[in-house]
Amino acid sequence: MGSTGGSTRSAPDAAERVVRPKPADREADGYAEEAAALRTGLVREIVAGGGLTDPAWRAAFEEVPRHLFVPYYYEAGDAAAAAAPPDTRTTRAGEAGTAHGTVGYTRLWRDDPHPLRRARWLAGAYADAPLATRVRDGELITSSSQPSLMARMLQALQVRDGDRVLEIGAGTGYNAALLAHRLGDAHVTTLDLDPEITEAARNHLAAAGFRPAVVTGDGARGCPLHAPYDRIIATCAVASIPSAWLGQCRPDALILTPLATGLIALRVADARHAEGRFLAIPAYFVPLRGSGPPPQVPTHGLPSRPLLDDSFRFLLNVAAGHLEPVEALALWEHEGRPGRERYGVTVRGERQWAWLDDPEGAYGWPLGPPGRLEPFRGLSPGAP
């Protein structure tokens, strides 16, 4: 899916046109020149990988300074932590696969007194990799997503000039800055449950010259204050689609959200109906806070080889709690090992389900709490 480039809606008038922020003052930002060169390299890498085909989004990635949104972040790995100064180390307890049951974290930060570590921080800020930005009580609270994945998600959002966008999960504020660069501050709202996260995001955005609405609140409830929206994009995973999101959308709006290790793009018909398919690309995001843990994905009775296949693991996730593992394997093999793009989601009133190939076809699984342990057959509007 790509951006429509504003072809389906008239351009905003002169008073509404996007005003690009001036580049950060080089005296205030001592990294500006080096960061610009690194940013050019990052954009070149994303383009080479098939991303940023829309010139407007390419300009956003070229001009928005990511390093201002990650003044510090954490690298996981015991070796890195052991080599780091004591005041930059932290650990996460209970992680499997480590010698002592912990994962070491190294904090890389902008104001590190050591020039080589500062250089490492800046290079990491422009690597095509996710960055852990906040860890609390052994839990990853927020991160800055991999830039190439962000680029694909933003293009899949298919924004048009004048669209109003709600972002669920403020993170560092970087994604909101990219949206504000494309659409203008007045058209972007970013929301997060944690006031520390929203305060930090607001500060980062201001430092980069952006001032979209930054709101503290429950992502599952959306943000009625600035509704209705033409697009909703979530940067945290959900187990089912919150009904409030549909209610705050205009007809024909698009919702893009992580679900079951994939990205579902839902076209909204009205406040109670939406439908769409998954994008082909995998996506792993932390869950929407306050929504409870995702359902456990059982693997008992399965041979090891299918578990190495990403498309099979996706099926296990999308049907978790509703399909026995051995049945999932039989279905996956019978249907030709389907990729994510063959799956979709339908929201119809109080019911919503994931499906393979056809929302009214042979295979469908309800979203939400575990229920039946076999695929539905022949779903119909009157089905339970």
pLDDT at 382: 32
Judge whether 292 and 321 are in contact, CB under 8 Å.
Answer: no
CA distance 27 to 7: 40
pLDDT value at position 198? Answer: 96
Ranking 74-83, 123-132, 172-181, 320-329 by mean pLDDT, the lowest is: 74-83
Res. 264: pLDDT tops 60:
yes
pTM for the model stands at 0.84
- pLDDT for 32 equals 94
The string of DSSP letters for 307-344 reads HT-HHHHHHHHHTTTTS-HHHHHHHHHHTT---GGGEE
Mean pLDDT within 155-182: 97
Residue 383 DSSP label? -
pLDDT in tens, 2-44: 333 333 343 333 334 454 545 444 446 889 999 999 999 999 9
pLDDT at 163: 98
State percent of the chain over pLDDT 90.
Answer: 71
Q: What is the DSSP string of 244-265?
A: HHHHTEEEEEEEEEEETTEEEE
Across the chain, mean pLDDT equals 84
CA distance 321 to 298: 8
145 classed as catalytic = yes
Per-residue pLDDT of 215-232, as tens digits, reads: 999 999 999 999 999 999
Say which range, 83-92, 183-192, 225-234, 332-341, has the weakest mean pLDDT. Answer: 83-92
d(CA 229, CA 183): 13
378 confidence band (pLDDT: 50, 70, 90) = very low
CB under 8 Å to 201, separation ≥6 — which residues?
Answer: 69, 170, 171, 172, 173, 176, 190, 192, 214
DSSP assigned state of 287: B
In the chain the beta strands, taken as DSSP E runs, fall at 72-76, 89-93, 102-109, 131-136, 139-144, 165-168, 188-192, 213-216, 229-234, 249-259, 262-270, 273-278, 343-348, 351-356, 364-366
Here the tokens at position 88 are 């930059």
Q: What residue has token string 């829309």?
A: 54
Distance CA 126, CA 146 (A): 10
Of 3, 144, 145, 148, which one is the catalytic site residue? Answer: 145
How is residue 162 written in tokens?
């004048």
**C-alpha torsion sign, points 112, 114, 115, 117:** negative
Query: What are the distances in angstroms from CA 138 to CA 82, 103, 105, 272?
Result: 18, 9, 11, 38
